[in-house]
Amino acid sequence: MVRTLLHVLKYFLGNEPASTQTTQAERAAVGRYLAGRKCLVEIGVFEGVTTAAIGQGLDEGAVLYGIDPFFAGRLGICWGKLIATREVNRVRSRGRVVFLPKLSYEALSDVPGEVDFVFIDGDHSLEGITRDWSDWSARIVVGGIIALHDTRVSIHHPNTAQLGSFAYFESHIRHDPRFVLLEQVDSLSILQRKSA
Ligand SMILES: C[S@@+](CC[C@H](N)C(=O)[O-])C[C@H]1O[C@@H](n2cnc3c(N)ncnc32)[C@H](O)[C@@H]1O
C-alpha cells in the first residue's frame, strides 16, 4: 500500500508517469487500426495509458468504452481510476471515452450496437480469456479488429508463456477461422474479422 501511495503522490506531483504494461511499439501498432472505427472497447484500463493513446486517435464522433472494475483499495479509493481519468483528460480527442466500472462480461450490454475495435488486456487467466474471446469475438463486425495483449513472448514480457492468455491464443484464437492474424508486435497480437 505504501508503494501505491508513493506512486500516486509522485504521479500527481509530476515526478512519475502513469504505470502501464504496454510498450510504445504496441500502442503505436494499435494506433494504426483506429481510423474509421466508431465503437471501440478496451478491456483492462488500469492507469489509462493505452486508453489515452487510443483516445488520441479516435475519429470524430467515435466512442471508446474503457471497461475495468476499478476495485477500490483499503482506503475505499481506486487510485488507478483517478490516474486513468487524468491521463484521458490530458489528451486531445475528437471522440469520447466512457469508463464502465465493471468486469468485461458484466459490461456487454452497456456497449450499444456494433463494435468495430476491441483491445483485450483484462483477466489473463485461461477462464478469463476464454470468456472474453467468446463474448467479444461474437460482437465484432466483419472488418473489425481485436487486439490481444500478453499473447506472445517478447523481451519486454518474458513471462507471458505462463499466462492463460498466451495458452488460449496458441490453442484457439490463432486458429479461429473467422479471423486473420494481421501482425504481432512485442506481446500484442492484432486480428481482423474476415467472416461472420
Ligand atoms: C494488465 S492491466 C491493464 C493494463 C492497461 N491495458 C495498460 O495499457 O496499461 C489489467 C487490468 O484489467 C483489469 N481487469 C481484470 N479482470 C478484468 C475483467 N474481467 N474485465 C475488465 N477488466 C479487468 C484489472 O483491474 C487491471 O486494471
Q: What is the CATH number of the domain that holds 132?
A: 3.40.50.150
pLDDT band at 195 (very low <50, low <70, confident <90, very high): confident
Give the residue carrying C-alpha cell 504505470: 19
22 close to ligand 1 (CB < 6 Angstrom): yes
45 CA distance to ligand 1 centroid (A)? Answer: 5
**What's the pLDDT tens digit per position in 106-142?**
999 999 999 999 999 999 999 999 999 999 999 999 9
Q: Which atom of ligand 1 lies closest to the CA of 22?
A: 8
What is the number of structural domains in the chain?
1
Query: What is residue 26's predicted lDDT score, i.e. its pLDDT?
Result: 98
CA–CA distances in Å: residue 85 to residues 16, 37, 43, 59, 134? 16, 22, 15, 20, 29
The DSSP output letter for 69 is -
Per-residue model confidence as pLDDT tens digits over 26-55: 999 999 999 999 999 999 999 999 999 999
Question: In one letter, which amino acid is 23?
Answer: T
Residue 160 CB less than 6 A away from ligand 1: no
pLDDT tens digits along 83-93: 999 999 999 99
Q: How far is the CA of 15 from the centre of ligand 1 (A)?
A: 24
The residue range of the domain holding 117 is 2-193
pTM value surpassing 0.85: yes
Ramachandran angles phi, psi of 124, nearest 5°: -90, 5
pLDDT in tens, 165-177: 999 999 999 999 9
Ligand 1 contact via 136 beta carbon (within 6 Å): no
